């Protein structure tokens, strides 16, 4: 690693109205270094990287690459200086080939012909040099998630980047794909590239990074060599306090609360169709559903929420076959729903905190009479839930859209768990949450299972599934593997099943 900084950010400050997103931040990046950038939701990480890449203009401060100032607000200037960014959500054209995506924007708009042969030769050299192999003539829409990420990295390298920024790079990857990604990044770093990656996964930070920078409330609160710190110290720096670790304690399972018997379902816009699903959940149990995005998890969640009806098979809740699935019947049957899209389907963003906490109970006795709402009772209940679930906001009348992601998720959990559900669907419950909010969500789910609820936990994070689940099933192309005990299942084999290798479709035991 060079001792001369390749990149220097000095005194970066950025305000959005009264909010200070970045407050006098300075950091350096050296050639051949992998730097992890951490912080709670809203700590200023993405804003800082967006300033570096030219998407935002800082109110004050400067950015230098190799000692030369980088013009603010110009992604083109950033690319020319050798700064490349891979966003969490890929920006590839699915109807174009790998080579066409990589060439896009690198040749004059009014050129008479593209020099595809030269571009292919350059691409081949990068793939061979950095072991990033993908078929250059394949359409992007037919690639796996891991292959698409390789294309995004190749796109940056093709533009001769010296600095690579990755935002949550493993959010949608299997464990094997994550391992391959970091092995590739290490190869890039060994050959002189410099990498900044944003992540919430502390295990990745400890395994892959050379140095860590932690932001809290827009300021740098810790900068350290990775070998000189621990995951616990990083987590404490992120939130400013020790975070109690949620731990699962085995509990004898109770009566069956959910049984899917040969269930089939289809919806064109929700990924893979569901094929002959067999699934059983008992009281006091958390059943984890592992899988890479797009393999039918969304459709399964919608089915258990009553948004989609099965085209075959039976859905049995507490021994009773449900003949007509709707959101209302599922709520009446004691199903609590924690959806993956907090603002789209979980909450009404322009309604207040009190209104959102009341959407599923306002018709119950004590809260309405002859069509008239008892606002005093609703407000009293909402205030109590805010206190119990530590929902931090401006008050009961605050619009939900002004809450942080973590507080939105606690609001949903408060609404769901306060009704004492027999079955809880938790679909990606900690997506995008920092370590503090994640720990709170985990503890609420474990407490609900301890009190007697059955929980279906759908997650793409194997760490989360192993921490919370009693049993795990893998979903691949709309099918479920047989359930396996979390204490004895092999993690590497689960990862292979998630990618379709060694997938064993036997249904629920």
Q: How far lies 456's CA from each of 73, 184, 461, in Å?
A: 45, 35, 14
- Output the six-digit token pair for 287: 């059943």
Give DSSP secondary structure letters for 228-286.
G--HHHHHHHHHTS--PPP--------SEEEEEEEEEE--TTSSSPEEEEEEEEETT-E
Shared domain check, 215 and 144:
yes
Among candidate residues 189, 208, 239, the one where a domain is terminated: 239
Quick check: 190 pLDDT over 60?
yes
Shared domain check, 141 and 219:
yes
Shared domain check, 110 and 227:
yes
Average pLDDT over residues 223-228: 96
For residue 434, the model assigns a pLDDT of 73
Shared domain check, 277 and 225:
no
Q: Is residue 430 within 8 Å of residue 437, measured between CB atoms?
A: yes
Q: Closest by alpha carbon to 140, among 130, 153, 131, 149? A: 149
- In this prediction, residue 108 has a pLDDT band, given cuts at 50, 70 and 90, of low
List the domain range (segments joined by +) for residue 102. Answer: 5-239
More confident residue, 63 or 267: 63
3-state secondary structure of 337: strand
Rounded Cα–Cα distance for residues 285 and 469 (Å): 8
Among candidate residues 207, 239, 271, the one where a domain is terminated: 239
For the stretch 347-351, contacts whose Cβ atoms lie closer than 8 Å and that sit 24 or more positions apart, written own/partner, are 347/400, 347/408, 347/411, 347/412, 348/400, 349/399, 349/400, 349/401, 350/399, 350/400, 350/401, 351/399, 351/400
For residue 143, the model assigns a pLDDT of 80
Average pLDDT over residues 64-93: 88
Q: For residue 146, is it within any domain?
A: yes
Quick check: 91 pLDDT over 50?
yes
More confident residue, 249 or 508: 249
Q: For residue 473, is it within any domain?
A: yes
Q: For residue 89, is it within any domain?
A: yes
- Output the six-digit token pair for 282: 């008992």
Among candidate residues 205, 239, 273, the one where a domain is terminated: 239
For residue 263, the cross-strand partners are: 277
Average pLDDT over residues 65-94: 88
Contacts (Cβ under 8 Å, ≥6 apart) of 508? 260, 278, 279, 280, 473, 480, 482, 483
For residue 398, the model assigns a pLDDT of 87
Quick check: 507 pLDDT over 60?
no
Shared domain check, 156 and 129:
yes
Rounded Cα–Cα distance for residues 134 and 32 (Å): 25
pTM to 2 decimal places? 0.69
Shared domain check, 127 and 198:
yes
Q: Is residue 43 within 8 Å of residue 216, measured between CB atoms?
A: yes
Average pLDDT over residues 222-229: 96
Q: For residue 509, is it within any domain?
A: no
3-state secondary structure of 422: coil
For residue 112, the model assigns a pLDDT of 45
For residue 139, the model assigns a pLDDT of 92
- In this prediction, residue 509 has a pLDDT band, given cuts at 50, 70 and 90, of very low
Q: Is residue 288 within 8 Å of residue 468, measured between CB atoms?
A: yes
Q: For residue 407, is it within any domain?
A: no
- In this prediction, residue 506 has a pLDDT band, given cuts at 50, 70 and 90, of low
Quick check: 503 pLDDT over 70?
no
Quick check: 113 pLDDT over 60?
no
Average pLDDT over residues 220-229: 96
Q: For residue 378, is it within any domain?
A: no
Shared domain check, 293 and 160:
no
Quick check: 255 pLDDT over 50?
yes
Quick check: 109 pLDDT over 60?
no
Shared domain check, 99 and 38:
yes
Distance of CA 283 to the CA centre of its chain: 28
- In this prediction, residue 107 has a pLDDT band, given cuts at 50, 70 and 90, of low
- In this prediction, residue 148 has a pLDDT band, given cuts at 50, 70 and 90, of confident
Share of the chain above pLDDT 90, in %: 50
| Number of domains observed in the structure of the chain | 2
For residue 128, the model assigns a pLDDT of 86
Rounded Cα–Cα distance for residues 398 and 355 (Å): 10
3-state secondary structure of 385: helix
Shared domain check, 264 and 154:
no
Shared domain check, 195 and 330:
no
Shared domain check, 233 and 195:
yes
The dihedral built from the CA positions of residue 287, 291, 293 and 296, taken in this order, carries a sign that is: negative
Express each pLDDT in 374-399 by its tens digit: 999 999 999 999 998 888 777 899 88
- In this prediction, residue 132 has a pLDDT band, given cuts at 50, 70 and 90, of confident
Q: Closest by alpha carbon to 57, among 14, 17, 28, 22? A: 14
Shared domain check, 176 and 27:
yes
Domain holding 117: CATH number?
A: 3.40.50.300
Average pLDDT over residues 23-37: 95
Rounded Cα–Cα distance for residues 318 and 91 (Å): 45
Q: For residue 384, is it within any domain?
A: no
The mean pLDDT value of the chain amounts to: 88
Average pLDDT over residues 413-419: 91
For residue 127, the model assigns a pLDDT of 87
Q: For residue 41, is it within any domain?
A: yes
Q: Is residue 135 within 8 Å of residue 127, measured between CB atoms?
A: no
């Amino acid at each position: 690693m060079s001792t001369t900084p390749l990149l220097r950010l000095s005194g970066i400050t950025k305000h959005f109205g009264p909010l200070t997103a970045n407050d006098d931040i300075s950091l350096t990046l050296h050639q051949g270094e992998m730097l992890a950038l951490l912080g709670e939701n809203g700590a200023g990480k993405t804003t800082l990287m967006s300033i570096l890449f030219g998407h935002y203009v800082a109110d004050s401060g400067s950015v230098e690459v190799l000692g030369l100032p980088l013009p603010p607000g110009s992604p083109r200037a950033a690319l020319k200086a050798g700064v490349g960014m891979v966003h969490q959500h890929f920006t590839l054209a699915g109807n174009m080939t790998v080579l066409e995506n990589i060439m896009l924007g690198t040749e004059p708009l009014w050129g008479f012909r593209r020099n595809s042969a030269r571009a292919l030769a350059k691409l081949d050299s990068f793939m061979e040099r950095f072991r990033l192999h993908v078929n250059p003539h394949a359409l992007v829409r037919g690639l796996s998630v891991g292959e698409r990420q390789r294309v995004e990295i190749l796109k940056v390298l093709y533009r001769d980047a010296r600095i690579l920024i990755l935002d949550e790079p493993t959010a949608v990857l299997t464990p094997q794909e994550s391992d391959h990604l970091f092995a590739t990044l290490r190869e890039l770093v060994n050959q002189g590239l410099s990498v900044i990656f944003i992540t919430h996964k502390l295990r990745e930070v400890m395994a892959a990074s050379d140095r860590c920078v932690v932001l809290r409330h827009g300021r740098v609160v810790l900068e350290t060599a990775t070998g000189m710190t621990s995951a616990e110290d990083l987590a404490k720096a992120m939130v400013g306090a020790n975070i109690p670790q949620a731990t699962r304690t085995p509990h004898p399972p109770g009566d069956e609360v959910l049984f899917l018997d040969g269930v089939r379902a289809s919806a064109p816009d929700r990924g893979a169709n569901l094929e002959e699903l067999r699934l059983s959940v008992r009281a006091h149990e958390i059943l984890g559903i592992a899988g890479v995005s797009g393999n039918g998890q969304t459709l399964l969640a919608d089915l258990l929420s009553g948004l989609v009806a099965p085209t075959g098979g039976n859905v049995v809740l507490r021994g009773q076959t449900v003949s007509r699935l709707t959101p209302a019947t599922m709520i009446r049957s004691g199903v609590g729903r924690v959806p993956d899209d907090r603002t789209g389907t979980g909450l009404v963003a322009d309604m207040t905190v009190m209104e959102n906490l009341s959407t599923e109970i306002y018709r119950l006795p004590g809260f309405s009479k002859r069509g008239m709402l008892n606002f005093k009772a609703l407000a009293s209940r909402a205030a109590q839930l805010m206190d119990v679930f530590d929902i931090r906001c401006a008050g009961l009348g605050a619009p939900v859209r002004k809450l942080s992601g973590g507080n939105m998720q606690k609001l949903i959990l408060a609404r769901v768990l306060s009704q004492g559900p027999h079955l809880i669907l938790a679909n990606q419950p900690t997506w995008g949450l920092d370590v503090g909010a994640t720990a709170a969500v985990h503890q609420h789910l474990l407490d609900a299972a301890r009190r007697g609820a059955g929980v279906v936990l759908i997650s793409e994070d194997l760490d989360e599934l192993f921490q919370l689940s009693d049993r795990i099933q893998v979903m691949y192309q709309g099918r479920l593997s047989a359930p396996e005990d979390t204490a004895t299942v092999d993690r590497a084999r689960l990862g292979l099943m998630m990618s379709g290798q060694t997938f064993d479709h036997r249904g629920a035991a």
